[in-house]
């Protein structure tokens, strides 16, 4: 394989040539911020079973299991800070070339790292707020966390008594159609896409880099482990995302 510096230089050249850049990110971009990849050993799904959306709606016991997991997860997310990969993407947006950041993550770190909220497409929602599934009222998630810590293990809406759920997409729950549509529209208009920190195993989001490739975009993959689509990448990094993106921005600006 080409050495690291050589791949950085090729990636910087692609950046300079590009006119419309899209970024697609998964859990691997946030591991340097202290948020464990859900699928990794010791990750959330290693410690808790998956509660589907249908179970959440129908079973009080399942809701309690779900909220126990969320109570622990929020402690990780609340203390997390953007890492160099997040801030490098924000710097890339500042060049005017980056048109959208499509993310599978629910941690809000792209926005915290400096990306304008309107440029971030959250395919799986956000863990930073919660909503009533009945009347639609929303709360900052911190307020729900306080209720969980106080022993309210199955929080309900203070108005209509409907079920409260984080504004995230659960297993068995439909992905937001508008966000998915925006993601594919931005994807097929791009001439360069970064894929950072995703195993590319969860559909339909996993098809987004492939859609960019079919539309003629060059792809730069940054992921610690192989993916099913590595063969379509113009440049492939298996190194740490924050190191790669930090060095790449420096190389690009030189």
pLDDT digits (tens, 9 = 90+) for 192-212: 999 999 988 888 888 999 999
Which range has the worst mean pLDDT, 42-46, 165-169, 171-175?
42-46
How high is the pLDDT of residue 203? 82
Q: In the structure, what pLDDT confidence band is assigned to residue 254 with cuts at 50, 70 and 90?
A: confident
- Mean pLDDT along residues 119-145: 96
Phi, psi for 140 (deg, rounded to 5): -60, 140
Separation CA 49–CA 10 (nearest Å): 42
CB contact at 8 A, 82 and 132 = no
Q: Where in the sequence numbering do the catalytic residues fall?
A: 124
* Strand stretches in the chain, DSSP E: 21-25, 98-103, 120-122, 125-132, 138-140, 164-168, 192-196, 218-222, 235-237
How far is Cα of residue 21 from the mean position of the Cα atoms in its chain?
17
18: CB partners within 8 A, 6+ apart: 97, 191, 192, 218
- At 14 the pLDDT is 98
Looking at every residue in the chain, the average pLDDT score rounds to 93
- Domains of the chain, each with CATH number or no CATH: 1-35+82-124+176-254 (3.40.50.1220), 38-79+125-168 (3.30.1600.10)
pLDDT for the residue 156 = 97
Closest CA to 119 of 83, 82, 94: 94
**Is the predicted pLDDT of residue 31 greater than 70, yes or no?**
yes
């Amino acid at each position: 394989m080409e050495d690291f510096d050589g791949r950085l230089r090729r990636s910087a050249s692609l950046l300079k040539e590009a006119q419309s850049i899209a970024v697609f990110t998964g859990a691997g971009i946030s591991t340097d911020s202290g948020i464990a990849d859900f699928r990794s050993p010791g990750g959330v799904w290693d410690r808790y079973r998956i509660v589907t959306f249908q179970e959440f709606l129908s079973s009080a016991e399942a809701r309690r299991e779900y909220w126990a997991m969320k109570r622990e997860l929020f402690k990780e997310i609340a203390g997390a800070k953007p890492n160099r990969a997040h801030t490098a993407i924000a710097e890339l947006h500042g060049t005017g070339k980056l048109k959208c950041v499509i993310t599978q993550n629910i941690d809000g770190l792209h926005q915290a790292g400096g990306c304008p909220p309107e440029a971030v497409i959250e395919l799986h929602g956000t863990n930073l707020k919660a909503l009533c599934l009945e009347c639609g009222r929303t709360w900052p998630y911190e307020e729900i966390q306080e209720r969980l810590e106080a022993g309210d293990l199955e929080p309900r809406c203070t108005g209509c008594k409907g079920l409260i759920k984080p504004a995230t997409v659960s297993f068995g729950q439909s992905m937001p159609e508008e966000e998915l549509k925006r993601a594919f529209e931005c994807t097929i208009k791009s001439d360069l896409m970064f894929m950072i920190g995703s195993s590319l195993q969860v559909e339909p989001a996993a098809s987004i880099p492939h859609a960019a490739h079919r539309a003629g975009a060059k792809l730069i993959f940054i992921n610690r482990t192989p993916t099913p689509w590595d063969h379509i990448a113009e440049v492939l990094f298996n190194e740490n995302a924050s190191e790669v993106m930090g060095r790449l921005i420096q190389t690009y600006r030189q």
